[in-house]
Chain A
Amino acid sequence: MKKLINDPADVVTEALSGIAAAHPDLRVDLDHKIVYRADAPVQGKVGLLSGGGSGHEPLHGGFVGPGMLDAACAGEVFTSPVPDQMLEATRGIDGGAGVLHIVKNYTGDVMNFEMAAELAAADTGVEVVSVVTNDDVAVQDSLYTAGRRGVGVTVLVEKLAGAAADEGRDLAGVAAVARRVNEAGRSMGVALTSCTVPAAGRPTFDLPEDEMEIGIGIHGEPGRRRVPLAPAREVAEMLVEPILADRDFTGDGGALLFVNGMGGTPLLELYVMYREVSRILAKAGVSVARSLVGPYITSLEMAGCSVTLLQLDDELLRLWDAPVRTPGMRWGA
């Protein structure tokens, strides 16, 4: 393992400390491992809280700021945060309009956020609504699994629900936007290499030099199948085909195409993938109205990418274009 760290046990805290030093717009509670926007709570605005294991940066702490999240809880690497953190953050961002929990569909995240919501209902007067993201088409049969995983669409939910909250919508309205985005989005990923969890010290799985894993998760969990390494145009087919088979993206508003790097893939390759994916989409009659390319929801140093498609409409388009000011995503503000 070659990593720029001190002690594996201190990675998360030291990274949060770095975030605090680098971004004066943010306030970091190191004890609870929570990143807040510095001016939280914003009175009268629905608070947006997300969180999850660390190792997916800039998700979630990098998406805290005006137009997106009010706070994010950081768990250990690839381990969900605990209810105490979520409860503390929920209190800290409630501006009187309630708090939306944005939860990726992983057993640990769902259970810890569930406990936090129960505690919030019992211990505080804060109204909490939870939305679970589950956009990963690599997981086929939800009857025999923990259900589809929440991946790339989570970033889009945070942006679009964040914009809706900024517009002054109430908790039910913001949650409705979040659910609609989750319903309208699908993702699929590929890994070319494993990643190494600092505390484990070894790659999570072995992937031979000439193979890749299709349908990968964001925690080094293996995917649908292992196949020989192929050119980008074939990889793009393998990612887009299951997405288009799962949902129609030919709606009038066009689609948002999000090509995400898993942490160890250069933008050069992501743009090669963008080219291939957009050609497939053009053939399939899907018009791309907006794009997002880069590492937004990563898996430590894993090489690979994921493709996310979101069906847009006038409202989602407007919310996407709305100003956002966070370390990981920033425009118009």
Chain B
Amino acid sequence: MAAPDQFAAIDAAAIERWIRAFAAAVAENEQELTRLDSPIGDADHGANMNRGLKAVVAKLDGGSTGGPGALLKQTGMTLVSTVGGASGPLYGTFFLRMATAIGDADTVDQKLFAAALRAGVDGVVARGKAEAGDKTMYDALAPAVDALDAAFGGEDTAGALQAAADAAAQGRDSTTPMQARKGRASYLGERSVGHQDPGATSAALLLQTAADTLA
């Protein structure tokens, strides 16, 4: 009897769908991300991410080759080279570490995907030195990887990924009452309280598009 929790293997085509969907979601939410960045940052998160992801999509349009790892690596390198600010190194490192974890594998099963996602998030922590509660993208990413691990074996593909996306959305919402301790928002001190973090918001889009495209 087949296990009900079988995780559809993720191939390069699925990864490409995910990256394109993330780019589309960021483009659609560019104004919103920038609006969130205005009171606590410097009003450029939407513009920066959109610029980088447009470059990523242009590369995909140019003809993608290679497996899931190669696609993620290309995405990470392109983001580092085009986004700037803090988001470039952070998102770039995220995709590069995922790529390294996946290596040359042609398809990615649930266990490997969960491990790769965790490696990506660990990369964000290493690069940004953020901790839980600092009011950053990490506050959306950390609960998402935990949720994916918890769903491992107990949910089907779609359920596991949606659990991760839901956790990311909750994590995003949890940043509103936090006081920022990283990035430019940290200079506001108590005045950063009451604003949703733009980085956590784009990170929640990353997880929701994964749930939409990888299942």
Contact = CB atoms under 8 A, between A and B. Distances in A.
Contacts of B44: 76-79, 197, 199-200
Interface string A177-208: 00000000000000000000101101011000
B43 to A, nearest CB: 5
A47 B116 CA distance: 40
Given A79-B44, A199-B44, A222-B191, A146 B186 contact: yes
B80 A115 contact: yes
A-B residue pairs, 3 tightest by C-beta: A145-B186, A108-B85, A111-B89
30 contacts: A75-B84, A76-B51, A76-B84, A78-B43, A78-B44, A81-B84, A82-B82, A83-B80, A106-B184, A107-B183, A111-B86, A111-B90, A111-B128, A112-B89, A114-B89, A144-B179, A144-B181, A145-B187, A146-B182, A199-B47, A200-B34, A200-B38, A202-B38, A204-B42, A220-B42, A221-B41, A221-B184, A221-B187, A221-B188, A222-B188
Given A75-B84, A82-B88, A112-B89, A197 B42 contact: yes
Contacts, number: 107
Nearest to A223: B187
Nearest to B192: A222
Interface residues on chain B, size class: 20 to 34
A160 interface: no
Nearest to A196: B43
A197 B42 CA distance: 9
A217 interface: yes
A80 interface: yes
B83 interface: yes
B84 A108 contact: yes
Interface of A: 53, 75-84, 106-108, 111-112, 114-115, 138-139, 144-146, 149, 197, 199-200, 202, 204-205, 217, 219-223
Interface in B158-186: 179, 181-184, 186
A115 B179 CA distance: 28
A145 B127 CA distance: 16
A50 B172 CA distance: 35
Given A139-B187, A144-B181, A145-B186, A112 B84 contact: yes
B48 interface: yes
A199 to B, nearest CB: 4
Contacts of B88: 80, 82, 108, 111-112
B194 interface: no
